[in-house]
Amino acid sequence: MKVYEGKLISKGKKYGIIVGRFNEFIGSKLLSGAIDGLKRHGVQEDEIEIAWVPGAFEIPLVAKKMAATKKYDAVICLGAVIRGSTSHYDLVAGEATKGIAHTSLEIGLPIIFGILTTENIEQAIERAGTKSGNKGYDAATTAIEMVNLCEQWPNNG
């Protein structure tokens, strides 16, 4: 029986990070967590490139542009969509999710979903480096694992 696994160590791989500026104080904590997660698993500073976008809705387009360059082995998407009092939350969260999934499948590159979608600010704070960990860090380790896993079936989209 052959079992495929992606190791949690990075050597010579490049990572693009996209972070939404909306709810910036959460986004910047996710970004710090992601950088920490990459560096702790062997990624060098010059192997990381970061793009800030206005909000989560803009993340898929920039993910597609970054992925299309073939310069990165994975792209990590970070942001925080926090429910307000209108239907805006569902639209922004839904489009960001769909866009990221679609782009990842279309281009055949790991594009990691590290966007918080929370009912309130407390839930977001809990997931941005307090009691529920840091989802940016988790997104970084997911990216490394997926890069190593996907390398086992090269050049087939």
Ligand X SMILES: CC(=O)[C@@H](O)COP(=O)(O)O
Ligand Y SMILES: Nc1c(NC[C@H](O)[C@H](O)[C@H](O)CO)[nH]c(=O)[nH]c1=O
Selection from ligand X, ligand Y, none that 77 binds (CB < 5 to 8 A by kind) is: none
Where does this chain touch ligand Y (CB under 6 A) — which range of 8-16, 39-47, 51-59, 101-109?
51-59
85 vs 155 by CB, closer to ligand X: 85
* 23 lines the binding site for ligand Y (CB under 6 A): yes
88 noted as active-site residue = yes
- The tokens of 154 are what? 């090269």
Distance of alpha carbon 15 from its chain centroid, rounded?
10
CB atoms within 10 A of CB 83: 16
Residue 80: strand pairing partners: 116
Amino acid, res. 134: N
- SS3 at position 18: strand
List 38, 74, 81, 111, residue binding ligand Y (CB under 6 A): 81
- The tokens of 59 are what? 């993340």
Contact of 80 with 121, CB cutoff 8 Å: no
* 113 lines the binding site for ligand Y (CB under 6 A): no
User: Which among 11, 71, 88, 98 is annotated as catalytic?
Assistant: 88
List 63, 67, 92, 147, residue binding ligand Y (CB under 6 A): 92
Least gap, CB of 25 to ligand X (angstroms)? 14
